Amino acid sequence: MTHPSSLPADEHDRYALYLDAFAAVPRDSELDLVAAVLRDEDPVMAQAAVVRHVDLRAFALLRSDDFAPWAAALAAAAGERPFVVQRLGEWALLSAMARDLDWDDAALTAGSNWLQLGVAETAGSVRALTVLAADGRTRRIRNIAASRLRALTGSRAAARRAQEG
């Protein structure tokens, strides 16, 4: 990537430059690039660029044994950036669900709207949909989860019981 003094002044241009750099970065240089981007003078834009990269890379690694070590290394590189660390944690929960590993209901109910809506709309897990039908953050999330739960189980009663608690 270019030297910081030669970066565009406009944060939108820097954001686009960072996304291009992330798309082309070799795995062995990824953490250095994350650290460099997070040193940008606009911390909100920098975190947004890193989270966009996290979303793309995490999706690609979701069902891989490489996910956990990658996420741990990236979390260390991100330091105390709460938005980045939260998103990595939510991807770790999604990875556990996708790989049929142990996961915690409380982590799902404490998750962001982004996480809960994504799970409600795409998960094939009766357990996850039951949790969200009962305790999703918004009415929309609860309704989507209940509807998908009915579709998966073929039972209106199961979805109704989940929503009633």
Cβ atoms of 161 and 152 closer than 8 Å: no
Structure tokens of 86? 């939260």
The rounded distance, in Å, linking the Cα atoms of 42 and 131 is 38
Would you state the pLDDT for residue 122? 94
Residue with tokens 């044994």: 65
pLDDT at 149 over 60: yes
- In order of 24, 125, 132, the CA distances from 16 in angstroms are 13, 36, 35
Q: What is the mean pLDDT of residues 105-130?
A: 96
For the segment 16-32, the average pLDDT, to the nearest whole number, is: 96
Average pLDDT, the chain: 92
The C-alpha atoms of residue 144 and residue 136 are separated, in whole angstroms, by 10
d(CA 30, CA 22): 7
Res 4: pLDDT: 53
Taking only the tens place, the pLDDT of each residue in 59-74 is: 999 999 999 999 999 9
Please state the domain extents for the chain. 9-103, 104-165
Residue located via tokens 């690609």: 60
How many residues are there in the chain?
165
Q: What is the spatial distance between Cα 118 and Cα 127, in angstroms, rounded to a whole number?
A: 15
Mean pLDDT, residues 19-27 taken together: 96
Q: 95 phi and psi, to 5 degrees?
A: -65, -45
Q: pTM here?
A: 0.85
